[in-house]
Structure 1
Amino acid sequence: MPGVLAEGLRRAGRFGVRLAGAAFRLGGRAAGRLRAWPEGSLRRRIAGAFLLLTLASGAVFSLSATLAYDYTITHVIRWHMDPIARLLIDAEEQRPEDVGALAKMLRVKWYAGDDIPDDLRPGSRGRELVRIKRDRYAMTCRTKEGREYAVVGKVKDLDDLEEAMRDVALACVFGSLLAAGLLAYWLGRRLISPLVELARKVKAGEPLDDAPLCARRDEVGALARAFAGRERALRAFLNREQLFTGDVSHELRTPLTVLRGGAEILESRLEDRPDLLPVVERMQRTLAAMTATVSALLLLARTPERLECRPFDLAATARREADIARELLRGRPIALVERLPEVLTVEGNPEVAALVLHNLLDNACRYTEEGRIELALDADGLVLTDTAPSIDPEVRARMFERGTRGASRTPGSGLGLSLVQRGCERLGWRVSHEPWKGGNRFRVRFTA
């Protein structure tokens, strides 16, 4: 036979237990959602944490209210039925013939000894309280002499008290959820707004040195000061790089101009030495290529928004670079094949595009020992295929980094492909490498 606490939990605490279970289930789901949001909005995560805390608090509150309700109801029922049971037990021992009339007057049912129904017989603990129906309770007991008694009666207004306590519990839980939601929204805005402002300033490129965020004495201020320090370091580095590139370009332009002028004068005085004219022409082409490279390096030092872009004929640029590469291949068992359209107009900077083509062709001419080099161009992009030895996978993973060289003994600085990468980034192109059974293939797409 269930005891007082078990019977109270079964009936009076049924709602509290269901509410606690639902709170724990919702809390588990909320915790799973929070774990699934490692990169989500901090505002949502703060709100979820507050709601999870509220649900956990609601579960503890529901369980505590269930136990408190059971204790209170048990005390109320015992306070109501204990005097009746004692009065009837005394009457049973002193005036058995008056017990029936007394029980009827008290509006209870009285059982003694063998008349007690089997489901109401007291257990080994002696006095017990059992709920029979909606508002009817039975108190069973055993005296020291071993006599058993049971009294069944109705406790008025107990259901109304139960419903009132349930409504109070619901109001407390939903009120707590509402308060937690409002508090989470307010704290989320207060805590996240500085981070949003910091992200906006960093994204917009606004200076952070004098920003009020750097004056904050919290973690956001520390983050803003760290960003400001990194911004100063990057700005100083970019200034040094631009100054260095500009100075080097300026210092190289003057001797290159002098050399080009000297080559032109030399060409004009070699009319009686036609065997030397090809040498002078090659010097002029090399000087022109060097001048274009210096100009392109100066352009790469500029920011992308300062780069001048205009429509130009990329096919003509590719033919000029192919002619230069063909001079490099003279006397070597390598064929240079061109598959170029008559005209291909693209939007961009012609000097930077020439730099990309020049370095791709120079790289292919440098590492190809025999076979062929094929340059194909269409509206989608260009493809350069060679029969050079395949690039090792380890080198391929960082081949576009500055200073990376292959395993070949061919001399080189390791800057060619890095310049190709930088030039493609300035033009909005994308360069990639893919091996094939005969060598290497570089593909440049005009749209990223």
Structure 2
Amino acid sequence: MAGAFSLVSYISVKVIEEQVIDARLAKMADRLIDFQRGGRMPDAPSDIRFLIDADIPVELRRLPAGFHEVGVGNRHVHALLRDQGSSRYAVLQEVGELEHTELVILLSLALGFAVSVLLAAVLGVLCAKRIIAPVAALADAVGRNAGPTELPSLSAQDEIGVLARAFAKRTDELQQFLQRERLFTGDVSHELRTPLTIMLGAAEVLIPQLSERPAQLATAERIRRVAAETAQRVSALLLLARAPESQDAPCIVLNTIIESEMERCRSLLHDKLVECRLEWSEQVSVQVHPELAGIVIGNLLRNACRHTEQGRILVQLSAARLLIEDTGSGIPQKVRKRLFDRFVHGDERPAHEGTGLGLSIVKRVVDHVGWNVRLETPEAGGTRFVLTFPAGAGSLVNGP
């Protein structure tokens, strides 16, 4: 705006200058020529020169009649040339003083432009700080998870107040939802622990009594094993219901968890021509609760066993990642982007064996413990899941 104002002012000065000088020269020319043609001596102002015919400088004789701005000698003049009868008249006005005035005006405009820009910058910074301050305070409060009633500017009637109240409402809804979810998960897990403990105790008491009845002994052992596994899953759900920062996870050897989960999944490969192989060159330690690690690895292994009819299931463990690859039917392209969503199945069969929650639970646990999981498609077909561990994971001792 300052630049536009300065430009308009400069153009206005030039236009006014031209019009004023030209009008004055035209008026003086009419008066002086009338005096001269009337036989009287024309009386010109001190800054005006009135020349006739031979007295006109050579530079002006070649110019047509009209207004001109030219240099005569070492001077810069405005000239009005007129032809009347056989005579040529010239009225000259030096513009040195006008140029000085014009320079002063231009310098004033330049100074005004600079001051305007500086003032605009200062006012812009001050206004921006004043306007942004409530937004920054609101963002800080939301970032530190302040309660809905602790958000600033809630009583303001401007746009910031509207935004703060919208944040407060949304924050309250989210906190209530999270609280309900945690309470539900905790309550269900707590209520399941008692019957599971009873089942586990009854199975352990029953097993020694069936030593001479192999069929019933196998059934009792299976009940005990399933009850123990379910109890571990319930403990994992209780851990999952807590905030990650409130947990002090132990440092465990992941190899043992993998071997245990692979043993649990062997029954799913009964009567299938599938080789399940574990490859590792070192024992890997990670900081995680074993129940949560078991949920992740167990779900991925069970999916691989259920969807692989022949071929192999390869489990590779290194210090930085865990790879679970199978030669099964693979996952359709259209569901890959939503694979970790709830109730999404990884196959297109009309009847599904599961509920579509396994991989969503895997994703939730992985996010909870700070790992990362991604889906890859091997060139030979099938499915490959890759779990990567944070920088804190590392090897303990070399293995076979």
Shift of 1:151: 2.1
Contact map agreement 2:142 2:151 (CA 8 A) in 1: no
Q: Which residue of 252, 266, 269 corresponds with 2:206?
A: 266
1:434 to 364, 372, 376: 376
Deviation at residue 359 of structure 1 after TM alignment: 0.7
Shift of 1:67: 2.1
2:367 maps to which of 418, 425, 429:
425
Contact 1:367 1:410 in 2 (8 A): no
Is the contact made by 2:141 and 2:151 (CA closer than 8 Å) also made in structure 1? no
Give structure 1 stretches of 5+ with no counterpart: 1-53
* Contact 2:48/2:93, CA 8 A, preserved across alignment: yes
Partner of 1:136: 77
1:351-401: CA deviation from partner (whole Å, max 9, x where unpaired)? 111111111111111222222211111101100011110211111111011
Aligned: 1:414 with 2:385: no
Separation of aligned partners in 2, 1:120 and 1:111: 14
Tell me which of 232, 241, 251 is aligned to 2:191.
Answer: 251
Q: What is aligned with 2:398? A: none
Give 1:183's match in structure 2, choosing from 120, 123, 141.
123
Q: Which letter maps to 1:430?
A: N
Instruction: Give the direction of change, closer, same or farther, for the CA distance of 1:312–1:136 in structure 2 (3 Å limit).
Output: same
Give the deviation of 1:89 after TM superposition: 0.9
Aligned to 2:134: 194
SS in 2 for 1:413: coil
Q: Where does residue 180 of structure 2 map in the other structure?
A: 240
Query: Paired residue for 2:34?
Result: 90
* 3-state SS, counterpart of residue 344 of structure 1: strand
Does structure 1 residue 387 correspond to structure 2 residue 313? no
**Aligned runs of 1:34-53 on 2, under 5 Å?**
none
Deviation at residue 342 of structure 1 after TM alignment = 5.9
Contact 1:267 1:280 in 2 (8 A): yes
Shift of the alpha carbon at 1:217? 0.6
Query: In 2, Cα distance between the equivalents of 1:253 and 1:118?
Result: 117
String of CA shifts for 1:410-430, please: whole Å, max 9, x gaps: 411111111111111111110
SS in 2 for 1:120: coil
Within 5 Å, give how 1:236-315 maps onto structure 2: 236-315=176-255
The amino acid that maps onto 1:302 is: R
Distance in 2 (alpha carbons) for counterparts of 1:275 and 1:87 = 138
Does the aligned pair in 2 maintain the 1:304–1:426 contact within 8 Å? yes
In 2, the alpha carbon distance for the partners of 1:321 and 1:377 equals 14
Counterpart for residue 373 of structure 1: 313
Tell me, in whole angstroms, the C-alpha distance in 2 between the residues paired with 1:105 and 1:227.
78
1:279-329 Cα deviation digits (max 9, x unpaired): 332222222211111111121111111233111111111111111011332
Does the CA-based 8 Å contact 2:137-2:152 persist in structure 1?
Answer: no
- Residue 340 of structure 2 aligns to a residue whose secondary structure is coil
Task: State the Cα distance separating 1:91 from its structure 2 match.
Answer: 4.0
CA–CA separation in structure 1 for the residues paired with 2:284 and 2:45: 112
RMSD of aligned alpha carbons = 2.7
Query: Structure 1 length normalisation: TM-score?
Result: 0.79
Structure 2 match to 1:121? 64
Shift of 1:149: 2.7
Shift of 1:72: 3.7
Change over 3 Å in CA distance of 1:377–1:108 after alignment to 2: same
Distance in 2 of aligned mates of 1:163 and 1:407: 84
**Identity across the alignment (%):** 35
Asked whether the equivalents of residues 308 and 328 of structure 2 are also in contact (C-alpha less than 8 Å), the reply is yes
Q: Partner letter of residue 358 of structure 2?
A: G
Distance of aligned partners of 1:90 and 1:368 in 2 relative to their CA distance in 1, 3 Å threshold? same
Q: What residue number does 2:394 align with?
A: none
1:328 is the counterpart of 2:268 = yes
1:194 positional shift: 0.3
Alpha-carbon distance, 1:140 to partner: 2.2
CA distance change for structure 1 residues 284 and 335 in 2, over 3 Å: closer, same or farther? Answer: farther
- Distance in structure 2 (CA, Å) of the matches to 1:322 and 1:236: 39
Q: Which runs of 4+ in 1 moved over 6 A?
A: 102-107, 113-116
For residue 110 of structure 1, what is the aligned residue in structure 2? Answer: 51
- Residue type of the alignment partner of 1:136: V
1:228 to 145, 161, 168: 168
Query: Which position in structure 2 is the counterpart of 1:447?
Result: 390
Structure 2: tracts of 5 or more residues without a match:
392-400
1:161 equivalent in alignment to 2:101: yes
